[in-house]
Chain A
Amino acid sequence: MKTEKSSISSNISGVIAIILMGFPVYWMITTSLKPKDEILTVNPTLIPHHLTFSNYIQATTKDGFLQSLWNSVIVVFFTVIISLAVALFASIAVARMKFKGKQIYVASILLVQMLPLTALLIPLFLLLTKLNLTDKLAGVILTYVAFVLPFVVWTLRGFLVNIPTELEEAALVDGCTKPQAYRLVLFPLIAPGLVATAIFAFIQAWNEFLLAYILLSSPEKATLPIWLAGYTNRFGTDWGPLMAGSTLAAIPVVIFFSLIQNRIATGVTAGAVKG
């Protein structure tokens, strides 16, 4: 009885939350489907009178769309792969090993998260100029990796700590070497952790604007957010194609997330010890 009752109130709250949270998203999508004269009016309508795909056509045929899409894909791909690999090694050390200087390492990882990005912009730009990495995707990728690393290391460490050491020890007894034990036993078990952190790194790299804006100057190097920002200038914002482009930019994240979310939820670790 009790659960039935609470379920109704939570369903109602759920619907309210969907409306409140979803409204800006809804507005983005409907605007992308409205003709120009229906967009910026004093009396905007919730539902477009005339559905049109002209904004999508306009956005996708504009110069640089495919190029910036491709750039973003490259940046995201390498940011996710590199940060996960590098962080996985580090998190094994932090979660599983004792070593001198560990506290300092952990402290510096945590402190990096507190650095205000806006304060580092200039020295970062100067540094990358010296390294000849400005206006190169590699420079952006390296910077993104550095900024997402702390979160990824720390989250993976959390997943690793929850995996009983008995599992690796058993593998060692069975004649595995240590790297083998990690590869064959630990790696599959932290898959959900890798997935969760991959999403985090993916979204950060896909949506990041400020750093990319400072570090990349030529239009053919622009990532999607920079390309999107091109729709706003001092004369105002060209909302229709901007919303169409943003909707398109959100699709890969949604696909990536839905492919991956089941894996987090199933919790691969659940039966590992009992089995």
Chain B
Amino acid sequence: MGRVTILKGAPKKDRVPKKIWPYLLIAPSLFCLALILGFPVYRLFTLSLEQYGLREIIAGKGTFVGLANFSETLQDPEFWQVLRRTLIFTFAMVSVSIVAGAFLAHLMMKMHKRIRWVLNGVLILVWAMPQLVSISVWRWLFSFDFSIVTALINSVGIDFPKHNYFVNTLSGFTIIGGSVAWGALPFITISVYAALTQVPKDLLEAAEIDGATSRQKFRHVIFPMLLPVYVILISLSVIWDFQVFSHIWIFLENRPGPEYFTMAVYAFQKSFGMSEYGMGAAISLIMIFVLISVTWYYLRQMMKMGDE
């Protein structure tokens, strides 16, 4: 609507004043973000300052309690345990999936055409599998009664009795982590591979003529060109892995024990399990705060880039 009036009002030559163009261009996206996320984010803030439980749901109104939810959360030793666990999990997940994805992408450059083609197809299939289904298959692989992995080990001739893989949290988190990394690999590998194919051949040839070894070529030509891609992939991985929820939820059949709580599960459990919605909101906000601090460098870089 605004656009139409501007078109009519201004002189013909410069129908839309130069200064207004960028605002017109970002308007639709701002509108969409503000409409869909504006209120929920605002409500998340207000909810975090309220006592909001079952009684308040029925009354339809929370009681303002100031920062009580935050101070209670920060004084809860369980919170710090969960935070530590989540940070370790995130760090492990990001390192494993980025290193494996980058490694695979570099290998793809040197693979036989057919093998690369099949691998590419597999990666797309993994990506295309609905998450709900892929996690269920992973759960089946390591289930108690009908574990495919247990059966495979037995079929090789090793006697391996029925085994609950999730009694030991380390083994449980390794399996969960495996499925998370497995699901993240296609996106990472395909992105790095696409970036690798964009490295101009003449640059590499020039380096070769100058006598560069393949390691030097990687360090001085390929790596600097790929750096921006890595920064984005690492930051997105941090954001996604920090918020892992569905994997843990589905693997542990909708009732993970406290030893499997990560931040997202913890916040969800507080809200929906214990009906302490105000507390859940406070935990979610702390989560966002931690994420911002962890990715601070990336945010600064991006904002500088965006400002150019």
By a beta-carbon cutoff of 8 Å, the part of chain A in contact with chain B is 2-3, 6-7, 10-11, 13-15, 17-18, 21-22, 24-25, 27-28, 40-44, 85-87, 89-90, 92-94, 97-99, 102-103, 105-120, 122-124, 126-127, 142-143, 145-146, 149, 151, 153-154, 157-158, 161, 178, 196, 203, 206-207, 209-210, 224-225, 228-229, 232, 237, 239, 242-243, 246, 249-250, 253-254, 257-258, 261, 264-265, 267
Contact = CB atoms under 8 A, between A and B. Distances in A.
A229 B132 contact: yes
- Sort chain B's interface into a size bin: 35 or more
Contacts of B137: 24, 27-28
A242 B292 contact: no
Given A43-B155, A127-B40, A232-B136, A142 B35 contact: yes
A11 B308 CA distance: 42
B151 A118 contact: no
Contacts of B91: none
B284 A116 contact: yes
Nearest to A106: B306
Interface in B15-64: 19, 21-26, 28-30, 32-33, 35-37, 39-41, 43-44, 47
Contacts of B221: none
B41 A115 contact: yes
A116 B134 contact: no
A123 B33 contact: no
Contact of A116 (B23, B140, B288): B288
Contacts of A258: 124
Contact of A119 (B126, B133, B267): B267
A257 to B, nearest CB: 5
Contact of A93 (B26, B118, B185, B303): B26
Contact of A21 (B32, B126, B303): B126
A249 B130 contact: yes
15 contacts: A7-B112, A17-B107, A18-B118, A22-B122, A24-B137, A44-B146, A103-B303, A103-B306, A110-B303, A114-B239, A146-B37, A153-B29, A242-B133, A246-B133, A265-B197
Given A2-B214, A102-B307, A246-B133, A11 B112 contact: yes
Interface in B265-308: 267-268, 271, 277, 280-281, 284, 287-288, 291-292, 295, 299, 302-303, 305-308
Interface string B77-121: 000000000000000000000000000100110111001101111
Of A112, A229, A250, chain B has the most CB atoms within 10 Å of the CB of A250
B136 A237 contact: yes
A52 to B, nearest CB: 19
B28 A90 contact: yes
Contacts of B132: 207, 209, 225, 228-229
Given A14-B112, A142-B35, 12 more contacts: A89-B24, A106-B306, A106-B307, A112-B33, A122-B277, A142-B36, A146-B35, A149-B29, A158-B228, A161-B308, A210-B246, A228-B133
A153 B284 CA distance: 25
A87 B292 CA distance: 23
B127 interface: yes
B188 interface: no
